[in-house]
């Protein structure tokens, strides 16, 4: 199986029968790592939990952002929902007040690296370890929370990344593949983002959103729409840790 990650300009093509898409703001892994199923089975990588209860986890990447994150927090507060924010250490340093608000309002904070560097840099074990540890220190210094989960930038996975995360006491927090909302697409409306998430919702899913992208205002509006509809359908939204604890209790 092939792993191919594309960077920068938007590209769409087929290679070996597999469809790959390059996106403008970062790097995404679209072909699964050959060990993915094994890692998921061993709970080294979390993509969902098995439950019949109408519960799911909203997760937000690439923040904190001074324009978008407060709007997302407002929507979560309005609907009494909890979420997990996978923050970049660099942005957390720049906006400690927002990180403090995330923690104060009962949301979970995860590690999303310090700089969200190009994926090739994470093949350097020293660089990877520094990115993880530096961000953990920043999060703890601002919130007194020790992150339990690491979401690798772009979803990039490798044997070293799995091993180092495990050694650092972190579980890889992925997302449910069908719930990559692609809210980062420039100009994608809140209504489209919300409609996609609502259409594909199932119990135990982990939903991927971004509070640190240029389309973030649409994401914030989408959160309000998602919660409005799915709470009426009986869904509740919890942090990543709460979702994991639910699976353990069943």
Pairing of strands 83-87, 236-237: unpaired
Contacts of 36 (CB under 8 A, 6+ apart): 45, 157
* CA pair distance 154, 152, nearest whole angstrom: 6
For residue 19, give both structure tokens. 């469809």
For residue 151, give both structure tokens. 């979401």
Angle at 223 between CA 177 and CA 67, to 5 degrees: 110
* CA pair distance 13, 214, nearest whole angstrom: 25
Pairing of strands 18-22, 11-15: antiparallel
What are the catalytic residues? 61, 210
């Amino acid at each position: 199986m092939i792993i191919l990650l594309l960077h920068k300009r938007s590209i769409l093509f087929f290679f070996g029968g597999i469809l790959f898409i390059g996106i403008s703001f970062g790097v995404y892994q679209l072909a699964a790592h050959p060990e993915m199923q094994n890692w998921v089975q061993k709970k080294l990588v979390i993509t969902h939990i098995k439950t019949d209860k109408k519960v799911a986890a909203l997760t937000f990447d690439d923040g904190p952002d001074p324009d978008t994150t407060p709007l997302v927090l407002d929507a979560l507060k309005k609907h009494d929902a909890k979420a997990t924010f996978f923050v970049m250490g660099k942005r957390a340093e720049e906006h400690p007040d927002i990180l403090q608000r995330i923690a104060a309002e009962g949301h979970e904070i995860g590690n999303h690296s310090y700089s969200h560097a190009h994926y090739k840099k994470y093949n350097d074990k020293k660089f990877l370890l520094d990115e993880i540890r530096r961000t953990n220190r920043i999060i703890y210094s601002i919130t007194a929370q020790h992150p339990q989960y690491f979401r690798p930038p772009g979803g990039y996975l490798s044997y070293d990344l799995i091993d180092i995360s495990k050694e650092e006491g972190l579980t890889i927090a992925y997302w449910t593949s069908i719930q990559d909302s692609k809210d980062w697409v420039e100009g994608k409306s809140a209504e489209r983002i919300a409609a996609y998430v609502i259409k594909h919702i199932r119990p135990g899913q982990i939903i991927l959103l971004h509070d640190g992208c240029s389309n973030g205002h649409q994401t914030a509006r989408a959160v309000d729409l998602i919660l409005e509809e799915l709470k009426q359908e009986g869904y509740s939204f919890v942090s990543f840790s709460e979702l994991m604890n639910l699976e353990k209790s069943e």
